[in-house]
Every structure is written in structure tokens, then in C-alpha cells.
Amino acid sequence: MRDKRLTIGIVIPVYNEESHLADCLRSVMAQELPFTEVIVVDNNSTDNSVAIARSFSGVKVIPEVKQGVVHARSTGFDATTGEIIARIDADTRLPADWSKTLVSLFTKTDIDAVSGRIEYYDMAAPRLVNGVDLFFRRYFAAVLGRQVGLQASNMAMRRETWLEVRSQTCQLRNLHEDFDLAIHASQAGRRVVFDERLVARVGYRQAESSFVSFCRYAFVCPFTYREHRLKGHWYMYPVVGLAIASFGILKLLHKGCDDTGRFSWRHLLMSQSQRRVNPATFVE
């Protein structure tokens, strides 16, 4: 068993996230077990994201001028000193015991990297949507085994693992950088797992994409595995097809979700879309 007093640095890459970042950071700062350090990596934001981040005491803001979440992630991971590097997105909202769960997972098991369950806070019929999402995450964990991917909005890895694979990770368009990171960690003999005890709430911002953009985004999942010549991509195509077929329903549930989490036709008609930058394609 490892030392329970593990230090955890958390990294949040940010590009124009003023509408989400404050809620994210409030959940980060409200942890029952405080993080050793909180790092926001500004990837050339043109809105008030940096000012919001700096308004929180204890948050360190560092710049990354090379555009792309993969570059912002790497800069943040390099800057951390924690034994565990946690990573979330700017629209993630953490339960108060999230960091305690991480410590428990990394001290009581021999894992090197972990992702967990996702719950959407901006989707109507949340029990149905979250249940379906969990079903497929369990499916991928079962069929992919040691090659299971990481989910950027809810993940962590040992610093020693990052230092071992950092020079091997890819910096290409049309690859999910979190999947790529998991693949290289697994190929280095590190243990990457899905553990549903680690829960984070996120926004379903893919619903703000156009249908064509959503299709491109969905196919990045199997393309990432195919690029690494892993057979796991074959398991993903049926799920990608189902996600694409369900896009209209998912978009409806997202746009019609009111502040109570219920579907509202009034909210649907009044809601306005916000363009979402695809992190897998927006890379220098």
C-alpha cells in the first residue's frame, strides 16, 4: 500500500470558458481534501476566462500560446509538482469528495491512471441519459481492457507515468489527446482503468455542434485507436453509429433542459446555441 498522503495537482485547460469556469473552480476549491495546487492553463482566451481564474485565491494561471488542448494539457502537466496529476475540463463540476476518492483509488490499488463516471447536468431526462452513458462506459472498459481510454473531463494519473510517456504522446489533429495518452501509458506497461466510483458532472456541449461537426467529433474516437493500429476501434463503430442516430434527440434534451433538469418547450424555443470548438481538430 502506498503513502496515503499523496499530493494532487489539478490541471484545467481553458479556451474562452467564461460561462463555465467560475462554477468549475468553485467545485474545485470546495473539496473536502484540498488540492496541493490548482493550475489553469490559458490557451489564448479572448474573453474573461483569465480574470475569472485569477479571482480565485490559490489558482495559478499559466499561458500556453500554441493553440490546442493537447498543448495546454502538456504545459499544465509539466507545471504540476503533485504525485498525482488530476485533469478536468472547464465545464466540469466536481462533488466535494472527488479528491478523497482519488487518494483512495491511488493508495488502495496499483493503478497508474484512472477515469470515472460522467453525469450530465444540462440534459433533460438525466437518469436515462446518464444510465445509457454509464452502460457504454462499462462496455468499453470490458472490451478494451488494458487499452481503455481516459476521459479528459474526469481523470488522473501518477506523475511518474506522465514523465515516462510525455515524449511519446501524439500532437496531431483528429486524435483525442486523452485517448492517446491512455494508449501510450498502457503500451508502457502502466495500468489504466475505468472506475465508476470516481464521478464528475459535466456539460453536454457536443449538442451545440452542427450535425456534420458532431459526426466528425464522434469518429475521432475510433480513428484514434486505428491510428495506433489497435483493434479496439472495431468495438467503437456501433456506438458511434448509435450516437449519430441519436444526435437529434440528444440535442433536443440539451436545449430543452431548464434550470431544474426537466424538459421545457419554452426553454427549448428560447435557448441560444453557443459554438463549441472541437478540441480534437483545433490544434496547431
In the chain, what percentage of residues exceed pLDDT 90? 82
Residues 94-118, mean pLDDT to the nearest whole number: 96
CA dist 283 and 111 (Å) reads: 30
| 175 contact partners, CB below 8 Å, separation of at least 6 | 220, 223, 224, 227, 280
Is residue 156 assigned to a domain? no
Task: Tell whether 136 and 181 lie within a shared domain.
Answer: yes
Residue 167 vs residue 268, higher pLDDT: 167
The CATH number of the domain where 82 resides is what?
Answer: 3.90.550.10
pLDDT digits (tens, 9 = 90+) for 3-32: 457 999 999 999 999 999 999 999 999 999
Is residue 282 assigned to a domain?
no
Which has the closest alpha carbon to 148: 109, 107, 119, 190? 190
Helix segments in the chain, DSSP class H: 21-29, 49-54, 69-79, 98-108, 126-144, 159-165, 177-187, 211-227, 233-245, 247-255, 265-270
Domain identity same for 128 and 236: yes
The more confidently predicted of residues 260 and 135 is 135
State the total domains in the chain.
Answer: 2
Q: Is residue 278 part of a domain?
A: no
**Could you tell me the pTM of the whole model?**
0.91
pLDDT(284) > 60: no
Q: Is residue 280 part of a domain?
A: no
Residues 130 and 264 in one domain: yes
